[in-house]
Amino acid sequence: MTDEPAEDAPLPARPEWNALLAMTVAAAAAMFAGLALAVSMGAGTPQVAAAAHAATPAQDGPSPGRAVTADRAAWPLVAIELLLPHVPRPEPYPRAFAVAVALAAADTEATRLLLPLAAAAAEGAPTRADLVAGFAAAAEAATLAEIGFTPDAGWIARRVAATARFGAGLGAAGTPGLAALRDAAGLLEAGALADAAQALDALPAESAAALSPWRAGLDRRIAADLAHGRLSDLALRRAHEAAR
């Protein structure tokens, strides 16, 4: 009678292979982040892929006991890629913003471009369509304030304000506040948000105060769009530099 062959005992995991596996996963993550960045920016895939590969720590072979860490130079790119999809949306994104700032903390340039997004991340930033849709009510409140009424004034006061704005829209002579509201409305429709904000700077103090909740949303959207463009440019420039 022969003995049954004993099953082979499982081999213990080798630390050097664990390190190699972790390095491989990190390299793949960096590669996919670079590819996603290329798609969102419209950049050529080969250049960004090369940049991601260049930012991945090189290792010739298994190295027992060697810690596998991501290259800090790639962290700001990851921070930007994480945050950019949130910026055009109207909802707040405080967690994504906090993570992005933490990842880019050692990079002065990236941090400087991220910080203007703080208000939009905390409170949200209305889209251009939201701003256009809400402007009529905000302009009514500003006009009522200019002629000495509060936003909860009666029907007659609101009709007077609407008639004054309608006349200014047709080119009739009016107050500087009415002219500013008319110009801002046209600029908003054209998508020129920064120019609309500049036109509204001509409002008298009482009208500007009545408009302030809507104006705060406009300012957050302008700051968010400007930061979005600058961060996109920075990420693309860094990717090109790393690919050289």
Give residue 20's pLDDT: 40
pLDDT digits (tens, 9 = 90+) for 195-216: 999 999 999 898 899 999 999 9
Check pLDDT > 80 for residue 99.
Answer: yes
Closest Cα to residue 181, out of 210, 139, 213, 214? 139
Mean pLDDT across 80-107: 96
Q: What is the pLDDT of residue 145?
A: 76
Fill in the amino acid letter for 211.
Answer: L
Indicate left, alpha or beta for 148 from its phi (over 0: left) and psi (-120 to 50: alpha): left
Tokens of 220: 């957050």
Q: Can you give the residue ranges of every domain in the chain?
A: 128-225
pLDDT bracket for residue 159 (50, 70, 90): low
Burial of 110 (0-12, 13-18, 19+ CB in 10 A): buried
Q: Please give the Cα distance from 130 to 140 (Å, whole number).
A: 16
Return the pLDDT at 165.
52
Q: Please report which confidence band the pLDDT of residue 184 belongs to, taking 50, 70 and 90 as the band edges.
A: very high
Q: Across residues 123-134, what is the average pLDDT? A: 97
pLDDT higher for 126 or 152? 126
Share of the chain above pLDDT 70, in %: 59
Rounded Cα distance, 182 and 196, in Å: 10
